[in-house]
Amino acid sequence: MLLEVDGVGKRFGGFWALQGLDLQIRPGEIRAVIGPNGAGKSTLFNLIIGRYSPTVGDIRYQGKSLIGLSPSERARLGIAIKFQITQVFESLSVLDNVRLSLIGPAASLRDLFRNNGLGAEDEALRLLDVVGLREKKHERVGSLVHGHRQWLEIGMALATKPKLLLLDEPTSGMGPDETRKTAELVKGLGRELTIVVIEHDMEFVRSVAETITVLNNGALLAQGTYDTIKNDKRVVDAYLGKGG
């Protein structure tokens, strides 16, 4: 297993955002995590990247526990994220955002001071090709439309050469056309790396993921293929019935 979430619970004050969660992600898998708002999906991601540490339980990555490692250490191990609300470098150009992301995980201090091809432009442009933003390379990120910001952040995550890519609602705010493109992108990336994606768009989820994990009220509700999930009465009650 690439990632094992083992009996993880996270409490904020008196509220358990996640409780007794077990989850296994195989290498090479594209896994979708769905669930109503407040189900604990983003909390799960935040625990994996190290923004929060679990109140109970363990998270193992490549067989080793992540507990106690800082976010940057986890990133250097190959865990990358696109946040639900995109976090990019607003005053830099699209190209420099990717260049900086190429620099991010590599850097010993000495490397940072040398102009030795670290954050090289051609490598950054190749990544912009992957996410379809080459033509926007000189634009300031502050002026990008929402969908393009999503793609940019995915490109930045890719620049860190991740093994595990976490995508938190990559299609939010996108039209049908952009959503379809994003699905193609994710499927393409899935051939080379492991992806866990949080999404509300069920059509998107169906097209990219073999296995779907459903969370509700901070706990695992159901898990299986799209068809199993679709016909699961508990899931329909908790999520599909309400959310559409």
Partner 1 sequence: MLLRRSLTTGITVLIISTIAGALGHGFGGEAGLRQITQYLVLGLFAMSVDFLWGYSGLLSFGQAVFFGLGAFCYAWVRKGTFAFIPVLENSSLAGLLSAIVLPALLAVIVGYFLFYGKITGPNFTVVTLALSFLVSLLALGWSGVFGGYTGLPHVPPLALTLGNWEMSARAGMTSFVIVTALCVIAAAGLRSILATPFGLALEGLRDSEQRLQYLGMNVAQVKMVVWTISAAVAGLAGGIYSSIAGYVAYDLLGVLLSTEAVVWVAVGGRGALVGAFLGAVLVRAVSYALSGIALSYWMLFLGVLFILVVLLGSNGIMGLVERFRRGVPSATGS
The answer to whether residue 187 forms part of the interface with partner 1 (CB under 8 A) is no
Nearer Cβ to partner 1 (37/91): 91
Q: Among residues 93, 157, 92, 163, which one has the least CA distance to residue 131?
A: 157
Nearer Cβ to partner 1 (88/215): 88
Q: Count the Cβ atoms, other than its own, within 10 Å of residue 226.
A: 16
Least separation in angstroms between CB 91 and partner 1: 6
Question: Among residues 12, 28, 67, 72, which is the contact residue for partner 1, using CB under 8 A?
Answer: 72
Q: Among residues 175, 181, 205, which one has the least CA distance to residue 130?
A: 181
229, amino acid identity: I
Contacts for 176 with CB less than 8 Å, ≥ 6 apart: none
DSSP three-state, residue 79: strand
The answer to whether residue 104 forms part of the interface with partner 1 (CB under 8 A) is yes
Contact string (CB under 8 A) for partner 1, positions 73-102, x = contact: --xx---xx-----xxxxxx---x--xxx-
Least separation in angstroms between CB 107 and partner 1: 6
Contact string (CB under 8 A) for partner 1, positions 116-155, x = contact: --xx------------------------------------
Q: Cite the DSSP H helix spans in the chain.
A: 41-49, 71-76, 94-106, 109-113, 121-131, 146-159, 176-190, 202-208, 226-230, 233-235, 241-243
Least separation in angstroms between CB 16 and partner 1: 25
Tokens of 27: 């290498």
Nearer Cβ to partner 1 (88/183): 88
Sites of contact with partner 1 (CB under 8 A): 49, 70-72, 75-76, 80-81, 87-92, 96, 99-101, 103-107, 109, 111-115, 118-119, 156, 159-160
